[in-house]
Chains A and B, each alone.
Chain A
Amino acid sequence: MTKAIEELNDMQLDVLKEIGNIGAGNAVTALSKLINKKVNMTVPKVQIVDFKSLPDILGGADNQVVGILLRIKGDIQGYIMFILEKKYSCILLNLLMDKNLTDTSELSEIDISALKEIGNILAGSYLSSLSSLTGLKVLSSIPDMTIDMAGAILSFPAIEFGKVGDSVLFIETEFMENNYAVVGDFFLIPDVESYDTLLRALGVEN
């Protein structure tokens, strides 16, 4: 029986949260290697929110954000999405490429592909912790990226989650490098059929 996110019990949620923690930790380590600087992170917040209040978390449905999406293949199918506010994507690029960007309208082709690569690395390290915890084979596609209204970008995970329930699970991570803080949100979006596989592999299916 496929469960909606809001039907999961505390134990199952804790396991998903723990994957979030470990995954975000790995992602930060990867980021630190990438920019060759020490990066700290706060404890990620795992949240379940209903569709109606979802865009508010990202500063309103018409606030512009950067969305990076990868398809997940292997033992579970689905997507992983990484969302960054525009200002944070500029900070990341400035750290990585030694630039002085202030707005995403200034992004060059190289900046865009660097940003995709950041998304790729962060999502990849998240997935590898998922994979090692569950023993499931999880592969990801090349990333796709878009910059648009938060509501429009979030319609993607919302619709996928909408097939089973009325809320979305996501993980908010805050990284810090010296004076810079960057907040990013991960959405793990398993296909309807993959929920059970995931929970069974985690040993929490009841």
Chain B
Amino acid sequence: MDNIIKVGMADLNIVKHSGIITTLGLGSCVGIVLYDKVCKMGGLAHIMLPCSTQVKNNSNKAKFADTGILELVRLMESEGAKKSNMVAKLAGGAQMFNFAHALELMNIGQRNVIASKEVLKSLNIPVIAEDTGGNYGRTIELHTDDGMLYIKTVGYGVKKI
């Protein structure tokens, strides 16, 4: 029996080989998946906002790309993973509604994706695959066997990256 870990909105967790880690219904939020190729450990953060410093109430680290990714790396390292062995995959960052936001230069989903990439770059963790943008939700599932990320959608089928 594979061990399946569920991660909620503004939440993060890790899973050891040969478990599965999943988060359901990513919209404008971004799911950042880290995978240590050597010890086959997986981690997932479901972040909602790009940056913790722009918000007053920032005690929940998993809510933001900057603090969420750092916390996920720290948690994985404390369980024996190595940053230098990690690769990242991203999913989500959709724009669920098509309003033309005259005031917002970029939609929040896109900003979440960009912020996540910047944080990963600063940590030297390569982003090897992504399925981001669009206007639909995604459910993602990381398999620690092979590091594959399965992406399920409503009406856009299942993808494997």
Binds A, one of B69-77, B78-86, B96-104: B96-104
Q: Which of A51, A69, A149 contacts B8 (CB 8 A)?
A: A51
**Contact residues of B: prevailing secondary structure:** loop
Which A residues lie within 8 Å of B65 (CB)? none
Known contacts A146-B135, A153-B137; is-contact A52 B99 (Cβ 8 Å): no
Which A residues lie within 8 Å of B98 (CB)? 144
Which B residues lie within 8 Å of A4 (CB)? 57
Q: What is the interface size of chain B, counting residues whose CB is below 8 A from a CB of the partner?
A: 32
Which A residues lie within 8 Å of B29 (CB)? 155, 158-159
A residues neighboring B (CB under 8 Å)? 2, 4, 51-55, 60-62, 64, 67, 69, 71, 141, 144, 146-156, 158-159, 162-166
Known contacts A146-B135, A156-B28; is-contact A151 B9 (Cβ 8 Å): yes
Determine if A61 and B48 form an interchain contact, defined as CB atoms under 8 angstroms apart: no
CA distance A141 to B100 in the complex (A): 11
- In the assembled complex, the CB of B66 is this many whole angstroms from the nearest CB of chain A, namely 14
Which A residues lie within 8 Å of B138 (CB)? 149, 152
**B25 contacts partner chain A, Cβ-Cβ < 8 Å:** yes
**B154 contacts partner chain A, Cβ-Cβ < 8 Å:** yes
Which residues 19-55 in B have Cβ within 8 Å of A in the complex?
23-29, 48-49, 55
